[in-house]
Amino acid sequence: MKKVLLASAMSMAFVGGAFANEHSGTYAFDKKGAHQFVTFKISHLGYSWLYGRFNDFDGQFVYDAENPENSSVTVTIDTSSVDSNHAERDKHLRSEDFLSVDEYPEASFKSKKVVVDDDGEADIIGDLTLRGVTKEVTLEAEMIGHGADPWGGYRMGFEAETELRLKDFGIPMDLGKASETVDIIISVEGVRQ
Residues 104-144 have pLDDT tens digits of 999 999 999 999 887 768 999 999 999 999 999 999 998 88
Q: State yes or no: pLDDT of 3 exceeds 50.
A: no
For position 126, what pLDDT does the model report? Answer: 98
Q: State yes or no: pLDDT of 22 exceeds 60.
A: yes
For position 11, what pLDDT does the model report? Answer: 39
Among 102, 120, 99, 114, CA closest to 166: 99
Best-predicted range by mean pLDDT (14-18, 117-121, 159-163): 159-163
Q: What is the pTM of this model?
A: 0.85
For position 120, what pLDDT does the model report? Answer: 66
What is the pLDDT confidence band of residue 14, given thresholds at 50, 70 and 90?
very low
What structural domains and CATH numbers belong to the chain?
A: 12-192 (2.40.128.110)
Stretch (H or E) spanning 181:
strand 181-192
Integer Cα distance of 10 and 59 in angstroms: 10
For position 63, what pLDDT does the model report? Answer: 86
Q: State yes or no: pLDDT of 1 exceeds 70.
A: no
Among 191, 114, 129, CA closest to 160: 114
Average pLDDT over residues 64-79: 90
For position 103, what pLDDT does the model report? Answer: 98
- Do 99 and 89 form a contact (C-beta atoms < 8 A)? no
Least confident of 66-70, 73-77, 97-101: 66-70
Average pLDDT over residues 24-41: 92
